[in-house]
Amino acid sequence: MILYSFPSSPFGCKVKAVILACEQTKNIIVEEFHPWQTDTFFRKLNPLGKIPALKISADETIFDSSVICEFIMDKAGKTTALMPDKFKSLKVQALVDGMADAAVSMRYEHFFRPKHLQCEDWYDRQRLALTSGMKYLDESIDTKLNQEILFENLCVATFLSYVDLRFSNEPFRKNYEKLYRWYDGYMQKHSFLETVKAKDHPIPANITRLQK
Ligand SMILES: N[C@@H](CCC(=O)N[C@@H](CS)C(=O)NCC(=O)O)C(=O)O
C-alpha cells in the first residue's frame, strides 16, 4: 500500500503514528506528495486533492485521515487495543482534526495567499477554534488523555508537533501548560514518535499559488 503524505501534514503525521503503533511499516510505503502540486494523477486517487490518501490496491484509494486510521487499525487487528473506549477516542479525534483544519487554514492564509488578499478576520476566527480546542484539552486532560499508546493520545501528540513547527511564536506553551506537560512527557515516554513529528520539508517548485 502507498500512503501519499507530506512531512509537515498534521493529518499525515497522525496516520504515520498509527502505522507505527500497528507495526505496519512493512506493508505501507510513504510517498511524499504536496497537495498544492500541479499534478495529473493525484485527483484521480482523491478527488478532493487532499493528503493523506492511502492507495490500498491498483484501483482503490481511501481518504480522509480518520478513515485511513480506522482501516489500518482494523487490518492490524488493533482497533480494540488502540480504542478501548471507541467513542471517547473518536471524539478526541474529531476535536483535534477540527483544530488541525483551523491551523492548516491559518498557515495557508499567510503562506499561500498574497499579502493584499489575506483576511485577518478569517485568520482570527481559525485561531479561535485552535485556542478554544487547546483550552478544552488543557482543562479536561485528566479525563481525555493518558500516557498509554491509545489512538486519542496519538492524535493529540502528532497535532501538537505540527503546532510546535508552525506556531512556535505563539504563547501556547505558556497558556496551556498542563497540555504541554502531558505532551512533553508523552513524547519522552514514546520516543518512536520522534520520527513522525511534523517536519519542515522543501516545497516542490510546481505548486499552485493563490493569486486572485
Ligand atoms: N479531513 C482531511 C483533511 C486533510 C487536509 O486538509 N490535508 C491538507 C494538508 S495538511 C491538504 O491536503 N490540503 C490541500 C487543500 O486543501 O487543497 C483528513 O483528515 O485527511
pTM of the model: 0.97
For ligand 1, say whether the CB of 53 is within 6 Å of any of its atoms. no
- List domains and CATH numbers for the chain: 2-80 (3.40.30.10), 83-196 (1.20.1050.10)
33: helix, coil or strand?
coil
Which pLDDT score is estimated for 211? 79
For ligand 1, say whether the CB of 5 is within 6 Å of any of its atoms. no
pLDDT tens digits for range 9-50: 999 999 999 999 999 999 999 999 999 988 779 999 999 999
d(C-alpha 110, C-alpha 2), whole Å = 31
pLDDT tens digits for range 99-127: 999 999 999 999 889 999 999 999 999 99
d(C-alpha 27, C-alpha 22), whole Å = 11
For ligand 1, say whether the CB of 69 is within 6 Å of any of its atoms. no
Which three cell numbers mark 32? 511524499
